[in-house]
Amino acid sequence: MHGKYVVHLLDRKITKLMTSMKKFFHILLAAVVLCSCASQYSIDGRTSSSDLEGRMVFLKTVSVDGMNSIDSCEIIHGNFSMSGRCDTVCMAEIFLDTTPIMPLVLEAVPLEVCINDTVYKVSGTETNEKLYEFLHKKAALEQQFSELPRKESRMIMDGKGEEEINMTLNNEMMKITSDYDKLVMEYITQNFDNILSVGVFMIHTQNGQAPMVTPQIEDIMSKASDKFKNDSYVKAFMQTAEQNHRNIYGK
C-alpha cells in the first residue's frame, strides 16, 4: 500500500513537471516568434505607371563601400513586395533595374512605397515621413532654381537692363542657396539621435563632387553628437574630406 502511494505521488509530480515544461516551451516559442517578427522588414509597393510593368525592383543598403543588394522582385500588375531580416535601422535605396530612384529608412516594420510619374513616397514610419518631407522641400527649391533661366528670358523680353537682370537673378540664387543650406542644417541637427541625420547628410554630400570640408560641414560637425560622428559613412566622408583639404592647402 505504501509503495502504491509513493508511485502515485511520483506520477503526480512527473505530470506537474511535464505541464510546467510545456508551458515554458510555449512561452519560449512565442518569444522566438515575436523576436523573429520584430526583426523583419516588409515593403508593399505599388505603381500606376504601365511603363514599369515587368521591371525589376532592387533594394540596396548604403555602406562605405557602396550599395549592397539585399532583395529584389518584379513589378506585376502594378504591385511588388519584398521582406527579409532587418537587424538594425539603416539607409537604403530602391533601384529600378540599375537606376536608383528613391531612398528610404529601412526598419523592422511594414513600409508602403508609391512609385508614380509625379509621386515617389515611402510611408509607414515617422522617420520616412520626415525623410520625404525633406525631399519634397528640397525638390521645391530645385524647381525654383531651374526657373531662373526662364525668368532671365522674360526680363530680357520685357526690356530690363543687364545690370538689373544680373542683380535680380543673383539675389534670388543666393536666397535659394541660403534656404537650402538652412534646410539641410535643420534636418541634420534636429535628428542627431536617429538615422535621418545620416540620411540627409548622405543626400547632401553625394553630389558628384569630391568630399571637402566646407564651412557648412564644419558647422554640422561642431554641433554633431558622438553617434553621428561615429557613423561609418560620416567618418569615411570626413577622413576623405580632410585629406583632400590637406592635399590642396598643405595643412
| CATH code of the domain covering residue 67 | 2.60.40.1120
Residues 233 and 135 in one domain: yes
Residue labelled with grid coordinates 534656404: 179
Residues 192 and 221 in one domain: yes
Residues 57 and 5 in one domain: no
- Asked if 109 and 41 touch (Cβ cutoff 8 Å), the reply is yes
Residues 29 and 51 in one domain: no
Q: Strand 40-47 vs strand 110-115: parallel, antiparallel, or unpaired?
A: parallel
Residues 57 and 75 in one domain: yes
**Which are the contacts of 104, defined by CB distance < 8 A and separation ≥ 6?**
91, 92, 93, 94, 111, 113, 122, 128, 131
What pLDDT tens digit does each residue of the chain (251 aa) get?
445 544 454 455 545 545 554 554 444 333 333 344 458 999 999 999 999 999 999 999 987 777 889 999 999 999 999 999 988 899 999 999 999 999 999 999 999 999 988 888 999 999 999 999 999 999 999 999 999 999 999 999 999 999 999 999 999 999 999 999 999 999 999 999 999 999 999 999 988 789 999 999 999 999 999 999 999 999 999 999 999 989 988 76
For the purposes of burial, counting CB atoms within 10 Å of the CB of 69, is it exposed (0-12), middle (13-18) or buried (19 or more)? exposed
All 3 cell numbers of residue 132?
520625404
Neighbours of 109 (CB within 10 A): 16
* Number of structural domains the chain divides into: 3
User: Within a domain: residue 122?
Assistant: no
Residues 190 and 133 in one domain: yes
Residues 33 and 49 in one domain: no
Q: Which domain holds residue 73?
A: 40-116
Nearest in space to 114 (alpha carbons), one of 100, 106, 124: 124
What DSSP string describes 112-153? EEEE-SS-EEEESSHHHHHHHHHHHHHHHHHHHHHTHHHHHH
Residues 166 and 232 in one domain: yes
Angle (CA) 40 46 50, round 5°: 145
Residues 159 and 90 in one domain: no
Residues 148 and 210 in one domain: yes
Residues 102 and 206 in one domain: no
Q: Strand 99-106 vs strand 90-96: parallel, antiparallel, or unpaired?
A: antiparallel
Residues 66 and 33 in one domain: no
User: Within a domain: residue 198?
Assistant: yes
